[in-house]
């Protein structure tokens, strides 16, 4: 009987947290910019946002160049690329914010917004990443650096892409274009 009660309590807690997550949007969360300024996601209301956890010493680090390309291609249509440095996977982002920023600018000409370094997995994950996990489920939790979340123009999580999927791939650019068209009132 005690076991059944515990199972029922866990079941109710899971669905209650999922219901709360469904009521939230990306605009309910805030980061700190890589320069130390507040960076509320509500700043990007009406825009399509690609949020990517990044690392400077990863096999996928070349994706910084792809992210910059996507940013340059679509920013005038309303896309924001947001880089979120994290040292969660293989200690591949050990630098300070100043070192990370310099690395990105010097090696990839990055000028899209970036946040301070945060945790993206586990109990200590940044609240945005906890919400994304609750909203999209465990399969959408970052498993490595350069995991991508796509936020629609009304703040909802609309898709995610695993680390190996390049930002310039057809899957990512088609999803971005769909959200940009939606924001512009297209089909």
DSSP state of 17: H
Per annotation, catalytic residue among 26, 50, 51, 58:
58
Mention every residue, 6+ apart, whose C-beta is less than 8 A from residue 175. Answer: 150, 158, 159, 161
Q: Map residue 123 onto helix, strand or coil.
A: coil
Mention every residue, 6+ apart, whose C-beta is less than 8 A from residue 2. Answer: none
104 included as an active-site residue: no
DSSP for 33-71 reads BTTS-EEEGGGGTTSEEEEEEE-TTSTTTTHHHHHHHHH
Strand segments, DSSP code E, in the chain are: 30-32, 38-40, 48-54, 79-85, 148-151, 157-161
- Catalogue the active-site residues: 58
């Amino acid at each position: 009987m005690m076991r059944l009660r515990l199972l029922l309590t866990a079941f109710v807690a899971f669905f209650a947290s999922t219901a709360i997550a469904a009521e939230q949007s990306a605009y309910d969360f805030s980061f700190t910019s890589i320069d130390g300024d507040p960076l509320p996601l509500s700043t990007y209301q009406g825009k399509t946002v690609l949020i990517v956890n990044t690392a400077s010493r990863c096999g996928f680090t070349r994706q910084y160049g792809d992210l910059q390309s996507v940013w340059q291609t679509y920013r005038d249509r309303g896309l924001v690329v947001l880089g979120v440095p994290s040292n969660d996977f293989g200690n591949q982002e050990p630098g300070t914010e100043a070192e990370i920023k310099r690395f990105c600018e010097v090696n990839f000409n990055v000028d899209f917004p970036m946040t301070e370094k945060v945790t993206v997995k586990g109990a200590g994950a940044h609240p945005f990443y906890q919400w994304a996990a609750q909203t999209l489920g465990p399969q959408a939790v970052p498993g490595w650096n350069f995991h991508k979340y796509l936020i629609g123009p009304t703040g909802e999580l609309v898709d995610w892409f695993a680390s190996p999927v390049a930002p310039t791939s057809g899957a990512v650019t088609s999803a971005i274009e769909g959200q940009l068209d939606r924001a512009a009132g297209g089909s």
